[in-house]
């Protein structure tokens, strides 16, 4: 069996007004881990959520993201930005070279609060669930100017995404 080399800019791309995802290594390549390059636009907030059947790894390649991966003292439904862990941790501003590992069941979130796009390498195990999820999510994003929150929720229900706070795509406020 041979390995796989994916050059910069290569891979299957899915581009919408909201999201740009490049599938780098997937289950179709025989990998147990799905690897994507994701451009996170200014103002995009994935919302806090958990997965009962998958683990994730995020590595910031360019730009900055606010991230968290912990169970808060109190979960709030509107936003995760002020959450605090029992030992005092809060969200972290993650720049290029920062990474975040998320075990199964751990609440996690990221947002791009800056005026510039951020780029991250995202890995999910096992494949291919997040591959199908990203394909369908990008279809929802491409369907109009406003993201339909009910369509996103139905999708997340099918793909083991327990949403705690809502997904948002709004320009950052200063």
Percent pLDDT > 90 in the chain is: 63
Taking the C-alpha atoms of residue 141 and residue 174, their distance in angstroms, rounded to an integer, is 25
pLDDT at 131: 81
Q: Is the bond preceding 16 in cis, omega lying within 30 degrees of 0?
A: no
Q: How many CB atoms lie within 10 A of CB 32?
A: 9
User: For 63-80, what is the mean pLDDT?
Assistant: 97
CA-wise closest residue to 69 among 98, 39, 37, 33: 98
User: For 59-77, what is the mean pLDDT?
Assistant: 97
pLDDT at 157: 86
Please give the CATH architecture assigned to the domain spanning 12-169. Sandwich (2.60)
What would the two tokens of residue 23 be? 């599938």
What confidence tier does 158 reach under pLDDT thresholds 50, 70, 90? Answer: confident
pLDDT at 172: 65
Taking the C-alpha atoms of residue 134 and residue 155, their distance in angstroms, rounded to an integer, is 10
pLDDT digits (tens, 9 = 90+) for 93-114: 999 999 999 999 999 999 999 9
């Amino acid at each position: 069996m041979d390995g796989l080399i994916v050059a910069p800019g290569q891979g299957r791309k899915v581009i919408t007004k909201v999201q740009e995802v490049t599938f780098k290594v997937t289950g179709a390549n025989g990998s147990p881990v799905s690897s994507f390059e994701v451009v996170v636009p200014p103002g995009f907030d994935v919302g806090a959520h958990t997965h009962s059947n998958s683990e994730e790894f995020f590595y910031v390649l360019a730009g900055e993201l606010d991230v968290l991966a912990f169970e808060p003292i109190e979960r709030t439904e509107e936003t995760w930005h002020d959450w605090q862990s029992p030992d005092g941790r809060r969200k972290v501003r993650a720049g290029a070279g920062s990474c975040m590992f998320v075990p199964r069941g751990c609440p996690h979130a990221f947002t791009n609060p800056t005026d510039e796009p951020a780029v991250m390498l995202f890995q999910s195990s096992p494949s291919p669930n997040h591959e199908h999820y990203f394909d369908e999510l990008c279809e929802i994003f491409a369907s109009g100017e406003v993201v339909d929150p009910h369509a996103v929720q139905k999708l997340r229900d099918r793909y083991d995404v327990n949403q705690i706070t809502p997904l948002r795509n709004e320009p950052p406020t200063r």
